[in-house]
Structure 1
Amino acid sequence: MSDWNERTIGDVAAVFDGPHATPKKTTDGPWFLSISSLDQGRLRLTESAHLSEEDFTKWTRRVTPQEGDVLFSYETRLGDAALMPEGIRACLGRRMGLLRPKRDHVDPSFLLYAYLAPQFQAVINSRQIRGATVDRIPLVDLPSWPIRLPSLGEQKAICSVLGAVDDKIAVNERIAAACEALLQLRFAELGMADEPDDSQAVPLTDLITFNPKLKKPSAEEPVYVDMAALQTSRAGIPSWSRRAPKSGPRFMNGDTLMARITPCLENGKTGYVDFMGDEEIGLGSTEFIVMRSRPGVPSELSYFMARDARFRAHAIRNMAGTSGRQRVSAADASNYLVNDPDPTALGDFGQQASSAFAHMKSLEGESRTLATLRDTLLPQLMSGRLRVKDAEKFVEDQV
């Protein structure tokens, strides 16, 4: 790394943070970026909220995020960051900061990769302030923290290699999102999202069961999914681990996991289970409800029902509990009428959904492999141990 120089964050970027408060969230308008928006180096707008134009003006008095800014969390989820894309109107939320690159010293994408690399992650770990409830980055000190950089030309070459992998992951995500959007239209054509006609209305429980009973998992440490793992779209399966929780709803492949608490239900957090063995039984957080299509009904129907705005509005109306942690029960969620779908149309939907979900799962698997490749190359390139030309040849064989 002889041609790499140690600089400070303040040498190569300006540091900003957002307001230390949370505005009222809305269903549309400018984006409100929170720590949930950060996902291992990527910005997830699907995990972000909106705010009003009036609040947007207030929340951007200090800084307005712009294309090329490196967004990061300075409390709780330390070390995560993402690059601000172009064409997005957004403000910073609580616990969010940004680095505005000085582009005559650092390429914005390289600054993101340098932030995520093990070398700077070690700096964060050693210099963070550890609190009784949350750890944090002292923003007043951050400009003095060291960071190593090569020449701008070398920065751009490294970004070209890593960016090729990230671009392919982004393409996969766009394809998966398009598949889901098309299936949403096919689901709407079934009429189940419409107000039910009295002559065609049937209880939703004729088609879907809620929290179906399953035997105890045989594995000592079964698959476990917690609330944080659920996404707001199919373009990303729930992450999972293996542990031995004392209790929780049981599920198997083909089931849908729907959030039953605020604000996750309003945000549409939902997960479709297709990542276990055929006979395997998993356990999950008590903060979601398991939905399973009845025999003869496409398993994917439960997923799109859980994602349906009218159904979620029904569930939200039936929430009970404290204002900060309201829940909906399986009984209240299932107390719902829908138009009985035409059997032929339902069968066609099932065939399309099954094929599309299989394709999305394949894309997700490829993206995970690519992410592993990127995470393997990142520390090698950022330390100078791997030459760009060697990395380029390796990436060409994989992408």
Structure 2
Amino acid sequence: MGSEQLFGSIPPNWEYKTLGKACAEGGGDIQTGPFGSQLHASDYVPVGIPSIMPQNIGDNRIIEDGIARVSLEDAQRLSRYRVRVGDIVYSRRGDVEKRALVRNHEDGWLCGTGCLRVRVGEKNVDSRYASYYLGHPNVREWIVRHAHGATMPNLNTSILAACPFLVPPLPEQRAIAHILGTLDDKIELNRKQNETLEAMARALFKAWFVDFEPVRAVGAQFIAPDIAPDSMDTRNPGAINRAPTHWPPHILDLFPDRLVDSELGEIPEGWEVVALGELVEAVKGRSYKSEELVESETALVTLKSFARGGGYRSDGLKPFAGTYKAEQVVHPGEVVIACTDVTQAAEVIGRPAIVRSSTRYRRLVASLDTLIVRPKDFRITKAFLYFLGGTEAFVSHTYAHTTGTTVLHLGRDAVPSFTFAKPPAQLVQKFDALAAPVLERIQATEQESETLAQLRDTLLPKLISGELRIKDAEAFLKGRGL
């Protein structure tokens, strides 16, 4: 397998090796993470050294949200499994073609149970180039084809070591990594900006509709410390740190001056406790068969369209050529909620996402894993509904209305039966006027990132195979302002 070539003709000064040989020559190696006998579930702690699990492997990056942690003592005990900058982490089972490059702030984390670690060393191979090479479609296909297991692919060190590895001269490796990394850096910058923007809007929702801070400010002359709503400058996410300390009078005028008892506890006077089902229409998605998942202009919004912990992923769409009802069509900007999940994770069920337009498909349809939630009238808006769905109360309520042992299913009444303190329509509209532009900005940035990812995925195989040379790629990006 080591002499196998994955591409056609290559530049004369490039050469094939196996990945194992390239690692050994560079002073690196390929090894598995600790086995279950070395690290038990009881060893994980709330605060400690992050341990990278298969679910933490994203698109060439480590997803830190919800990551497991071990104590410093256990990390030292398992020091041979700690990762360094430039290491590449794989899952040993399941989605074995995905990999993640270890970056500076992840240095010293643990390669956890269920993962493999590739270390190319520091002599002849640039680790960033290696991580992009391993993302080439031909290489990914090779790894999947050689992984053991019909229903659940399994990867091991021998398979990865035998993977054909194309090695350009080191300066060219670095140039390829720089070009592709420029696109990835912009995508990552967009992601962080969106996180900040959404955190601002979520903080405002919590202050107004969960903690009732303006009511307390009116009733007790309380000065709210964190966020003033008119400071939500979508052009400058850092503005949240410079927000004035007082709620503006025109905002305070929208709130009553006291809280009263209710079945939910204290709520603002005049607000009504209602069930969400009175204000929204919930539409279940379409079931489908595998033979219907063929290329067409239509795609299904599936369980994979939900990011861990909530939010939307455009790469979770599945092409679909079956029939569907008109109400099962999902339009950009609509709120959807995940209806299923695996019990071990339970990270998406009952959580909302806002669907965005697709550059690949003309039409999106909700799958059986997806519930479309639509406001019935002006008393609730999409922005209000989305942030309401992200509150602890909503997540706890929907999770309490799930059934199943290995796979969780959301009960039919989970969403409609959720009760909350409904503010006056005027206040809902005021929140929408502030939050909707933030969500639109987030949507536009995500769309830009999707375009950048497509550009990266177009350039990657051409650069890795030598079909496109560095100068041509640099000119290509420069012409697009990158």
What's the TM-score once normalised by structure 1's chain length?
0.84
Structure 2 counterparts to residues 198-217 of structure 1, below 5 A = 200-205=271-276, 208-209=279-280, 211-212=282-283
Q: What displacement does 1:305 show? A: 1.8
Picking from 141, 166, 169, the partner of 1:151 is 169
C-alpha separation in 1, matches of 2:345 and 2:281: 18
> Does structure 2 retain, via aligned residues, the 8 Å contact 1:73–1:80?
yes
3-state DSSP of counterpart to 1:282:
strand
> What amino acid does structure 2 have at the position aligned with 1:312?
V
1:68 aligned onto 2:93 = no
Change (3 A) 1:221 1:6: closer
Give the distance between the partners of 1:115 and 1:281, measured in 2 at CA: 31
1 or 2 for the larger relative contact order (CA 8 Å, sep ≥6)?
1
8 Å contact 2:16–2:165 — kept in the other structure?
A: yes
The answer to whether 1:188 aligns with 2:198 is no
Equivalent of 2:303 in 205, 227, 235: 227
**1:350 CA drift (Å):** 0.9
Contact 1:225 1:285 in 2 (8 A): no
1:15 has 2:30 as partner = yes
Equivalent residue in structure 2 for 1:367, among 449, 452, 458: 449
**1:320-350 alpha-carbon deviations (Å, 9 max, x no partner):** 333x334331413433332222444322221
Q: Say which is worse superposed, 207-216 or 335-344, in terms of deviation.
A: 207-216
Give the Cα separation in 2 of the matches to 1:367 and 1:378: 16
CA distance in 2, matches of 1:20, 1:351: 52
Change (3 A) 1:50 1:290: farther
Find the counterpart in structure 1 of residue 470 from structure 2.
Answer: 388
Alpha-carbon shift at residue 99 of structure 1 (Å):
0.8
SS of residue matched to 2:165: strand
| Aligned residue type for 1:272 | I
- Partners of 1:5 and 1:393 lie apart in 2 by 26
User: Which of 365, 372, 381 is the matching residue for 1:282?
Assistant: 365
* Contact 2:306–2:312 (CA under 8 A) maintained in structure 1: no
Contact 2:300 / 2:367 at 8 angstroms: preserved in 1? yes
Deviation, structure 1 residue 30: 4.2
**Structure 1: segments with no counterpart, 5+ residues:** none
Instruction: Report if the CA contact (8 A) 1:298-1:347 is conserved.
Output: yes
Instruction: State how 1:95-174 maps to structure 2 within 5 Å.
Output: 95-129=114-148, 131-174=149-192
1:239 aligns with 2:316: yes
How much has 1:145 moved relative to structure 2?
3.2
* 1:345 and 2:427 correspond: yes
- Verify the 8 A CA contact 1:76 1:136 in the aligned structure 2: yes
Conserved 8 A contact 1:180-1:234: no
Moved more, 200-209 or 63-72: 200-209
What CA deviation, in whole Å up to 9, does each residue of 1:107-163 have, x standing for no partner?
A: 11111011112453354245333x232122332343243312122222111111111
Pairing 1:273-312 to 2, within 5 Å after superposition: 273-275=355-357, 282-286=365-369, 288-296=370-378, 297-312=380-395
1:313 deviation in Å?
Answer: 1.6
The alignment of Structure 1 onto Structure 2 pairs a total of residues equal to: 392
Instruction: Report the AA paired with residue 243 of structure 1.
Output: F
Q: Is there any run of 5+ residues in structure 2 with no aligned partner, and where?
A: 1-10, 213-263, 288-295
Q: CA RMSD in A?
A: 3.5
1:196/1:339 contact within 8 Å kept:
no
Task: Quote the offset at 1:53 in angstroms.
Answer: 2.8
Contact 1:258 1:270 in 2 (8 A): yes
Residue 5 in 1 paired to residue 24 in 2?
Answer: no
Opposite residue 165 of structure 1, the aligned amino acid is L
Distance verdict in 2 for CA 1:4–1:223, change over 3 Å = closer
Question: Relative to structure 2, which stretch is displaced further, 74-83 or 337-346?
Answer: 337-346
Between the two proteins, what is the percent identity of the paired residues? 21
Taking structure 2 as the reference length, the TM-score comes to 0.71
- Distance in 1 (alpha carbons) for counterparts of 2:286 and 2:113: 43
Tell me which residue corresponds to 2:255.
none
Change in 2 beyond 3 A, CA 1:223/1:388: closer
Query: Residues of 2 paired with 1:183 and 1:211: CA distance?
Result: 24
Relative to 1, partners in 2 of residues 1:102 and 1:221: Cα closer, same or farther, differing over 3 Å?
closer
Match of 1:257 among 332, 336, 348: 336
Pick closer, same or farther for the CA change 1:214–1:375 going to 2, 3 Å.
Answer: closer
Q: Which of 63, 71, 77 is 1:53 aligned to?
A: 71
Q: Using the alignment, how far apart are the partners of 1:314 and 1:59 within structure 2? A: 40
1:83 aligns with 101
